[in-house]
């Protein structure tokens, strides 16, 4: 009886010891400790490569340039002549009649030495200096055109005809078919007067 009781107690103690023994758990891999980011710390600076890539046009040959026109390459036009004085008023005004000329004189020499061109805005006057710029207004329809005086005329007994314009100017004034029209001439610009030349006799006296 005592033996069986002792065996029972031994079995109970063994069971209790087995239940109380700690179980081993497989270790999990750990990572190195990383400190939490500091919100007040300045962000790391980013290095940017500022070197510019080579331009694709550096190795290209230069484009050809057009020749520049010189001052004497073309005849001056009316627009290149200085306009009216700073006061805005014409230098003088003249009233009378205008005529025009074209094919019969095209290509012939004018009083200024240049060739007459019916397609240019030029005119002939009896007394205005060659190179003067005038505005001619057809008083019938109000049309105006600016021309450059490069010739002398009109000639004839009818002195009321005060200007003879080229065909291009007559088309602007719209009196090609009429042949004659009443006009008002406003002198806008006069060339500077030419210096007077001394005679040979005066030069001889100064040299004596």
Per-residue pLDDT, 4: 61
Q: What is the mean pLDDT of residues 15-20?
A: 55
Architecture, CATH, for domain 78-189: Beta Barrel (2.40)
Q: Which two tokens stand for residue 149?
A: 């005086």
User: Cβ neighbours of residue 100 under 8 Å, at least 6 residues apart?
Assistant: 164, 165, 166, 167, 169, 170, 175, 176, 179
Backbone φ and ψ of 2, nearest 5°: -65, -35
What is the chain's length?
208
pLDDT tens digit sequence for 29-52? 554 555 555 555 555 555 545 555
For the chain, percent of residues with pLDDT exceeding 90: 47
**Would you kindly state where each structural domain of the chain is located, as residue ranges?**
78-189
pLDDT tens digit sequence for 90-121? 999 999 999 999 999 999 999 999 999 999 99
């Amino acid at each position: 009886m005592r033996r069986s009781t002792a065996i029972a107690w031994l079995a109970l103690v063994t069971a209790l010891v087995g239940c109380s023994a700690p179980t081993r758990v497989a270790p999990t891999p750990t990572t190195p400790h990383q400190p939490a980011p500091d919100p007040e710390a300045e962000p790391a600076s980013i290095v940017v490569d500022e070197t510019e890539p080579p331009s694709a046009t550096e190795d290209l040959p230069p484009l050809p340039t057009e020749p520049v026109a010189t001052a004497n390459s073309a005849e001056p036009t009316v627009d290149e002549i200085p306009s009216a004085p700073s006061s805005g008023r014409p230098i003088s005004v003249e009233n009378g009649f205008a005529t025009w000329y074209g094919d019969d004189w095209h290509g012939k020499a004018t009083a200024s030495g240049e060739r007459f061109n019916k397609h240019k805005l030029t005119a002939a006057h009896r007394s205005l200096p060659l190179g003067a710029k005038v505005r001619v207004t057809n008083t019938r329809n109000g049309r105006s055109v600016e021309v450059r005086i490069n010739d002398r005329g009109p000639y004839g007994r009818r002195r009321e005809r005060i200007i003879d314009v080229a065909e291009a100017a007559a088309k602007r004034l719209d009196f090609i078919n009429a042949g004659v029209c009443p006009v008002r001439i406003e002198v806008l610009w006069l060339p500077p007067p030419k210096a007077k030349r001394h005679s040979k006799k005066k030069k001889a006296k100064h040299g004596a």
